[in-house]
Amino acid sequence: MNQIFNHAPTHELQARDAAHHMHPFTAQGQLAEKGARVITAANGVFVYDSDGEKILDAMAGLWCVNIGYGREELADVAHRQMKQLPYYNTFFQTTHIPAIELSERIANLAPADLNHVFYAGSGSEANDTNIRMVRHYWAVKGKPQKSIIISRKNAYHGSTVGGGSLGGMSAMHEQGGMPIPDIHHINQPNWWSEGGDMTPEDFGRARAAELEEAIKQLGADRVAAFIAEPVQGAGGVIVAPDTYWPEVQRICDHYGILLIADEVICGFGRTGNWFGSETLHIRPHIMTIAKGLSSGYQPIGGSIVCDEVAKVIAGDEFNHGYTYSSHPVAAAVANENLRIMEEENIVGHVRDTVAPYLKQKWEAMTDHPMVGEAKIVGMMGSIALTPNKATRAAFKSDAGTVGYICRERCFANNLIMRHVGDRMIISPPLIISNDEIDLLITRARKSLDEAMEIVKVQGLWEEK
């Protein structure tokens, strides 16, 4: 790996960063005191920092670098496209070859009649598109009052005002006047934290039934769509019990509610199929995509739309679009990313090789005294930290206190594993090897041991 060391010293970079750079989802003051870790290079599943440390990135950046770091083909395509046509829009009766090729490829990969792509610069923007598109769809069909979108608490659908409103993160809703009107949140299918005395199966059915109750209470003539991640990602890699999705699908079908699958994380191989909807056997009308679409090499997102919705809104002008919708460089890079994924059968590598191996190692971590449940679908996994496995107790300290301690030990041990509250989560690059999975697990276990020690020493091993 050709590490470049001719940069300023780390402490100086950190001071300049703290002086001028505002970080997303960050307590700025705290970070300024501590100093951000400066990432300078990356290759495969590893990132390198300004002190020369080699860190295993078990989060694939932000769930996005599916193909791994350092793929020269993607850089070459971007370079060529910038020289050929760096930018042109597709607003006013024009198009370009990257948009044509990418849309065709996505339509071929997507299941059923999901054949049409509306582009955005990100997943959040794509979900903003979805809000307007489903409401517009019903309006064109003569039902403008069908405007409510049902979502779930602790869902993540982005950070724009629209995306953050669809999402069910209370900490986000508390800031900046969200949610917007006509978004309704039901409870999430998180059995570990909220299942009480129910079996997972009964709990899955009960949480799905909340969708039906909400539709009845709001009136089916008022509800436009239900949106959900096939597997909740940022909420802590929450995998619904098996009974949940079949029931949700039945309810959407029965009441004529559009189903939007937010595939921003699950899409493009993460769950062992091209789309999480295939893994979970759901039939959405619209899929939100971003992240793995370009493996994060360029910012691009979009909505894959079924024939029916596309046909209905085709008659009128849809007064919506972004300057960077179908950006030619982003589209060319995404297309090359997907071409490589197909050619190298990366989805097959996940399904047949690394996902089964990781599942076995991941689930074995429940032998650790602090690990309650271990959940995993394809290459996204979570473990719940607990002081009492039998009762599924939460720690007495504020949620996230113990998770943060564990995350800090991971970071110190050159493993990037995130925490959501007191759940630890991973989503490594899909090209990871079994040997690299061994390294991931070794570092995770070491970090868990160290974190447990700290938790005990600090008197935090206490049940709520």
Q: How far apart are CA 269 and CA 275, in angstroms?
A: 6
Residue 15's region, left for phi above 0, alpha for psi from -120 to 50, else beta, is alpha
- Per rule CB under 6 A, is residue 124 in the interface with ligand PLP? yes
Alpha-helix runs per DSSP H in 185-314: 191-194, 200-218, 244-255, 276-279, 307-313
Sequence-ordered list of residues with C-beta below 8 angstroms from that of 157, at least 6 positions apart, any chain: 123, 124, 127, 151, 163, 164, 166, 167, 227, 229, 262, 288
Which one of residues 96, 116, 157, 351 is an interface residue with ligand PLP (CB under 6 A)? Answer: 157
Of 71 and 157, which has the nearer Cβ to ligand PLP?
157
Binding mask 291-310 for ligand PLP (x = CB under 6 A): ----------x---------
Instruction: Point out which span in 200-208, 217-225, 257-265, 373-381 binds ligand PLP (CB under 6 A).
Output: 257-265
- Give kind and range of the element (H or E) at residue 226: strand 223-228
What is the closest distance, in whole angstroms, from the C-beta atom of residue 62 to ligand PLP in the complex? 6
Q: Which of 98, 158, 241, 429 binds ligand PLP (CB under 6 A)?
A: 158
- By the rule CB under 6 A, 122 interacts with ligand PLP: yes
Binding segment for ligand PLP (CB under 6 A), chosen from 80-88, 249-257, 262-270, 408-416, is: 262-270
262 touching ligand PLP, by CB under 6 A = yes
Instruction: Say if residue 299 is preceded by a cis peptide, omega within 30 of 0.
Output: no
Of 9-17, 210-218, 229-237, 448-456, the window that binds ligand PLP (rule: CB under 6 A) is 229-237
Residue 265 as a binder of ligand PLP (CB under 6 A): the answer is yes
In order, the DSSP letters of 167-220 are S--HHHHTTTT-SPTTEEEE----HHHH-TTS-HHHHHHHHHHHHHHHHHHH-T
Residue 290 is a binding residue for ligand PLP (CB under 6 A): yes
Q: Which is nearer to ligand PLP, 264 or 432 (CB)?
A: 264
How far apart are CB 314 and ligand PLP at their closest, in Å? 26
Chosen residue from 47, 65, 77, 234 binding ligand PLP by CB under 6 A = 234
Of 88-96, 226-234, 310-318, 389-397, the window that binds ligand PLP (rule: CB under 6 A) is: 226-234
- Residue 293 CB, shortest distance to ligand PLP, in Å, is 10
The Cα–Cα gap between 147 and 32 comes to 43
- Look at the block and give the residue holding tokens 């300004």: 50
Binding residue for ligand PLP, selected from 99, 264, 280, 379, defined by CB under 6 A = 264
Residue pointed to by tokens 């794509």: 126
Q: Least distance in Å: CB of 24 to ligand PLP?
A: 9
Whether 447 and 368 have beta carbons less than 8 Å apart is answered as no
What minimum distance in Å lies between the beta carbon of 427 and ligand PLP?
10
Return the DSSP state at 44: B
Contact set for ligand PLP, span 335-374 (CB under 6 A): none
- The token pair at 23 is 């970080």
Give all strands (DSSP E) within 292-438, no chain letters: 301-306, 371-377, 380-385, 415-416, 418-420, 423-426
Q: Is 377 helix (H, G, I), strand (E, B) or coil?
A: strand
Comparing every residue's Cβ against ligand PLP, the nearest one is 123
Which residue's CB is nearer to ligand PLP, number 24 or number 196?
24
Backbone angles phi, psi at 420, to 5 degrees: -125, 110
Contacting positions for ligand PLP (CB under 6 A):
122-124, 127, 156-158, 163, 229, 233-234, 262, 264-265, 290, 301
